[in-house]
Amino acid sequence: MVSKNVQERLDRPAQNRSLERGIDILRAFRPGADLIGNSELAERTGLAPATVSRLTQTLVRTGMLDYEARERAYRLAAPLLSFGHAMRSASPVLKIAAPLMQRIAQAHKINVGIAVIDHDEMVYLESVRFNKKVSLRNVVAGQRVPIELTSLGRAYLASMAPQARDELMQRLHLRRHADWASLERQIRQSLRQVRKSGFCVASWQPNVIALATPLRFKYQPVHVLNVSVNTHLPAVDIVSKLSPVLMELAGAVLEAEN
């Protein structure tokens, strides 16, 4: 948790628009979009084509993008991978949570993940999966999932101040306009569930039931912890079994960090 003065400074408009726009260019690259040209980058970011052209040239010169001359398009460059590795290695939360997550996943034969927010998506910092062969495999960190559909995202929404949450909900509404009425009801139900029980439940993928709880630290940003399982059993049975596991794990992480 940051002080009020620090939070006010963080909430102010960006002081360096060029840097902010450059980061928007990097955010436009997602799995499945290996090469992206200036025109598509302009469409994805909403920036003017001339601005995109200047930024991509700078990002190439600084080693953040590689330019594919034959396709006249760009891909993310290797140095960005080292940033992710440095971030994970330095994370005090991951240092505590990762070993505990591994033990819980193995002991209960479930999936365990931890994520943080990035704009209007959640980004996994770690995800430990327990597969059908009763062995563990780590999903690559950095996977993004929708806030509005997932237990991770809805648990994060429950941790937000009302005004900030309302602003984010408005952005989500614009993205999900067609089915927003149903989604908003589900999100509001999840918010009530977190207030009442400390966690929420969602099943946005077939036969996958996930529970998530926000981790509110004293000196770190809010993280969200989740557990999930692939099952045909009724959700009520899974919640009864996994909610104590999730909340015990969350308590252990918070106690160790504080």
Q: Please list, residue by residue across 59-91, b when 16 or more beta carbons sit within 10 angstroms of its beta carbon and e when fewer do.
A: beeeebbeeeeeeebbebeeeeeeeeeeeeeeb
* pLDDT score, position 13: 56
Q: Per-residue pLDDT tens for 108-166?
A: 999 999 999 998 899 999 999 875 543 444 456 888 999 999 999 999 999 999 999 99
Domains of the chain in start order, with CATH, are 4-77 (1.10.10.10), 83-257 (3.30.450.40)
The stretch 95-108 carries a mean pLDDT of 94
The SS3 of residue 53 is helix
The SS3 of residue 115 is strand
Q: How far apart are CA 75 and CA 160, in angstroms?
A: 34
Name the β-bridge partners of 144. Answer: 123
pTM: 0.85
Question: What band does 83 get if pLDDT is binned at 50, 70 and 90?
Answer: very high
